């Protein structure tokens, strides 16, 4: 598991060409500096969870938020293009990560074929620690894996900083990962950052 500061460095490196294309080389270099400054200001507010699941949520959340803040407040980029550019940089990072692990998709696909290896609807679990995630038992016909997130510390963190919109781009990485599967697909109808009462996950057999 990487730290948020390590992830920030990776996103800035892998997404540098995207920033240079949109902003120019000089502004891309400035973004690198300002994003690190913004991250240092955020670092003290990052929750210190014991749960590996909750810690993993914060690998990307604070780095993306710092980049988004730097684009808006330090470089004067408007909200919509700043959000789009931050997501494009995150996607560039994600694509690079997947290219470094070319067998990950195949391994996930093998798992999707082995129904017993996929947990059946999860038992309800309370927050493992104050402020942590809460997953509830979920069902669904034909679901290989099903869960409802009722509380998400990353959504709380982003709202506290007035930028809940950054959560959606991180959640979309789940969809990209799910596309690596050939025998299963991800379905969901709502997310906590958009005001839904639950963030539902349903992995079902794919109709491909």
Span 64-108, pLDDT tens digits: 999 999 999 999 999 999 999 999 999 999 888 877 655 444 444
Q: What is the pLDDT of residue 118?
A: 41
| First-last CA distance in the chain | 33
Inter-residue contact 106 to 98 (CB < 8 Å): no
Is the same domain home to 142 and 190?
Answer: yes
Inter-residue contact 146 to 203 (CB < 8 Å): yes
Q: What is the pLDDT of residue 104?
A: 47
Q: What is the pLDDT of residue 23?
A: 97
Q: What is the pLDDT of residue 120?
A: 39
pTM: 0.76
Is the same domain home to 163 and 144?
Answer: yes
Is the same domain home to 86 and 108?
Answer: no
Number of domains into which the chain is organized = 2
Domain that holds residue 188: 104-205
Q: What is the pLDDT of residue 77?
A: 97
- Rounded to whole angstroms, what are the CA distances from 93 to 5, 85, 86, 99? 14, 12, 11, 10
Q: Identify the segments of the chain with pLDDT beneath 50.
A: 103-127
Domain end (from 67, 100, 133): 100
Inter-residue contact 118 to 112 (CB < 8 Å): yes
What tokens does 198 get? 């639950």
Q: What is the pLDDT of residue 108?
A: 46
For the purposes of burial, counting CB atoms within 10 Å of the CB of 24, is it exposed (0-12), middle (13-18) or buried (19 or more)?
A: exposed
How far is residue 168's CA from residue 151's CA, in Å, rounded to a whole number? Answer: 15
């Amino acid at each position: 598991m990487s730290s948020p500061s390590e992830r920030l460095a990776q996103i800035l490196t892998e997404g540098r060409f995207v920033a240079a294309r949109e902003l120019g080389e000089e502004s891309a270099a400035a973004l690198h500096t300002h994003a690190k400054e913004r991250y240092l200001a955020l670092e003290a507010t990052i929750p210190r969870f014991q749960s590996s699941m909750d810690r993993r949520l914060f690998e990307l959340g604070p780095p993306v938020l710092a980049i988004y803040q730097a684009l808006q407040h330090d470089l004067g980029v408007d909200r919509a293009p700043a959000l789009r550019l931050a997501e494009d940089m995150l996607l560039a990072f994600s694509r690079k990560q997947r290219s470094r692990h070319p067998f990950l998709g195949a391994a996930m696909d093998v798992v999707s074929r082995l129904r017993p290896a996929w947990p059946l609807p999860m038992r309800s679990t309370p927050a493992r620690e104050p402020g942590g995630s809460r997953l509830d038992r979920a069902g669904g016909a034909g679901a290989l894996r099903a869960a409802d997130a009722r509380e998400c510390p990353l959504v709380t963190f982003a709202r506290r900083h007035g930028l809940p919109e950054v959560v959606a781009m991180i959640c979309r990485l789940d969809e990209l990962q799910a596309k690596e599967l050939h025998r299963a697909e991800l379905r969901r109808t709502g997310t906590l950052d958009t005001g839904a009462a639950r963030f539902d996950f349903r992995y079902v057999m794919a109709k491909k």
